[in-house]
Amino acid sequence: MQLFAKGRRLFTWSCIATLVVAALHTIGNTVSTPPGDAAYVALESAMRGYRVRLGLGMAPSVWEIYRGLVFTMSICLVAMGALGLAVAGSHDATLELLSRTALVLAIFSGALTVLYWVYQIPPPLISMAIVTVLFAMAFRTTSQSE
């Protein structure tokens, strides 16, 4: 199978790890039980109640904007992993293309890692740091396999 051919294995596993992070992110934001303390309940109520006029006749609540961003993250992570797997599975993809793709994915995973460091959000910080290291290692292995 092309996905696990020599020089592509770590890249493929990095893409799969990205898909796992997307799934965990989605599960964590949809299935987990939110805190029941009074402060959280008041916060969520305020977010659901405050609407922002954004044009085109649309006025989503801050909660709806937040949820949109939650699912944007899931969709973008799936896109990163799926695109990588599409490249890795292509018979026409050279190791040079895989190397460049791994570098781009490492850079943007790294950017997300920094973002979560700045905003101090440990779950995505840890998972994106792992994905960044995997893509950086995949970059190294694909560039050395040529």
Is 57 within the bounds of a domain? Answer: no
- If residue 140 lies in a helix (H) or strand (E), which one and from where to where? helix 122-144
Q: How many CB atoms lie within 10 A of CB 89?
A: 16
Is 37 within the bounds of a domain? Answer: no
106 to 24, 34, 43: CA distances (angstroms): 19, 32, 35
Query: For residue range 66-116, what is the model confidence (pLDDT) as tens digits?
Result: 999 999 999 999 999 999 999 999 999 999 999 999 999 999 999 999 999
Domain with 110 in it:
2-32+69-144
Query: For residue range 40-67, what is the model confidence (pLDDT) as tens digits?
Result: 999 999 999 999 999 999 999 999 999 9
d(CA 62, CA 31): 20
Is 84 within the bounds of a domain? Answer: yes
Is 51 within the bounds of a domain? Answer: no
Is 12 within the bounds of a domain? Answer: yes
Is 100 within the bounds of a domain? Answer: yes
Number of domains, the chain:
1
Is 41 within the bounds of a domain? Answer: no
- Specify the pTM: 0.91
Is 58 within the bounds of a domain? Answer: no
Alpha-carbon dihedral sign for residues 14, 32, 112, 117:
negative
